[in-house]
Amino acid sequence: MKKYRSAIVLFVVFEAIAVSLWLATGNLFYLLNFTYIGTCLGVGLALKAAGWHYAREFIQFGVGAYMLVFLGLICRENMQIEGFWYYLLSGVVGAGVLHYAIAKIFGPLLFGRGWCGYCCWTAMVLDLLPYRQPRGPRRKIGFVRYIVFTLSLVLVLLLFHYGKATSHTMFVLFVAGNLAYYAFGIVLAVLLKDNRAFCKYVCPVTVFLKPMSRYALLRIHCDEEKCIHCGKCLEVCPMEVEVNNNSRQRRNATECILCHRCTRECPVKALR
């Protein structure tokens, strides 16, 4: 049972959030939404603990597709960064703001960039491309994320300024934004031969995710006494993290998405 502990804990935490928000707001949506996400995470982590190779992908599709199709396209909640600005500037603490607070702003202090490894609907598609392991050096173009981040805020401010910030506009932006992210993400992945190039250089959400995950409680640790410096963990890491170094200053320290490819490859089980 011990190996299933984190699956059970996570499910219970999500169920507690589900029930608390339902009781506080009287809105059944919160109960169903957080129960569904908690179940995907709990079942997926249990499958991972049982050794199923595709457990991460199971969670990624379960949560990612639900958020994109059900919340985004059917319920018309804009969960992109523009939606976050829109709800924030409207003073509405709805699903979009809660989503950012839990998954992308405060949650990363606990679980780092777990969102990026297990739930993101953009990465859900990018991870299907054939360049899991980046083929080439990391580019020095990370500044692009700050430009995209600023543009997203300016765009929403302009919509408010011109009285066009309506829920319909935000829905159109959600569809257009996702199509643009997918198109750009795929082209970039093919050009740079790196599935996660979009995550590394362009995604505006990393402006929140990276600084918060620097202090994450949940991290991959290396038992440096066991490590034989074979470099296998570095070869398989999709985010090019120097994971066999425990320092917070390690190269790409804020990039780990907790996918655990490195822990599976380590021949001496030095990573956990």
Query: Does 241 engage in binding with ligand SF4 (CB under 6 A)?
Result: yes
DSSP class of residue 101 equals I
Alpha-carbon distance 244 to 251, whole Å?
10
Query: Does 227 engage in binding with ligand SF4 (CB under 6 A)?
Result: yes
Q: Which of 7, 63, 116, 253 touches ligand SF4 by CB under 6 A?
A: 116
**Shortest reach from residue 134's CB to ligand SF4, in Å:** 11
Alpha-carbon distance 222 to 272, whole Å?
7
**Residue 211: its H or E element:** helix 206-213
**The one segment of 18-26, 88-96, 210-218, 253-261 that binds ligand SF4 by CB under 6 A:** 253-261
**Shortest reach from residue 177's CB to ligand SF4, in Å:** 12
**Binding residues for ligand SF4 restricted to 199-218, rule: CB under 6 A:** 199, 203, 205-206
**Shortest reach from residue 106's CB to ligand SF4, in Å:** 15
Other C-beta atoms lying within 10 Å of the C-beta of residue 186: 17
**Shortest reach from residue 124's CB to ligand SF4, in Å:** 9
Query: Does 232 engage in binding with ligand SF4 (CB under 6 A)?
Result: yes
3-state class (DSSP) for residue 258: coil
Query: Does 222 engage in binding with ligand SF4 (CB under 6 A)?
Result: yes
**Shortest reach from residue 80's CB to ligand SF4, in Å:** 10
Compute CA distances 63 → 3, 38, 106, whole Å.
22, 9, 19
**Shortest reach from residue 34's CB to ligand SF4, in Å:** 20
**Is there a contact between 257 and 114 (Cβ–Cβ < 8 Å)?**
yes
Task: Give the binding-site size for ligand SF4 (rule: CB under 6 A).
Answer: 37
**Residue 117: its H or E element:** helix 114-118
Token pair belonging to 269: 């089980």
Query: Does 259 engage in binding with ligand SF4 (CB under 6 A)?
Result: yes
Number of separate helices (H) and strands (E) present in the chain: 14, 0
Alpha-carbon distance 121 to 104, whole Å?
14
Q: Which of 66, 214, 230, 250 touches ligand SF4 by CB under 6 A?
A: 230
3-state class (DSSP) for residue 112: coil
Contact residues for ligand SF4, defined by CB under 6 A: 116, 120, 122-123, 198-199, 203, 205-206, 220, 222, 227-233, 236-239, 241, 243-244, 256-262, 265-266, 268, 270-271
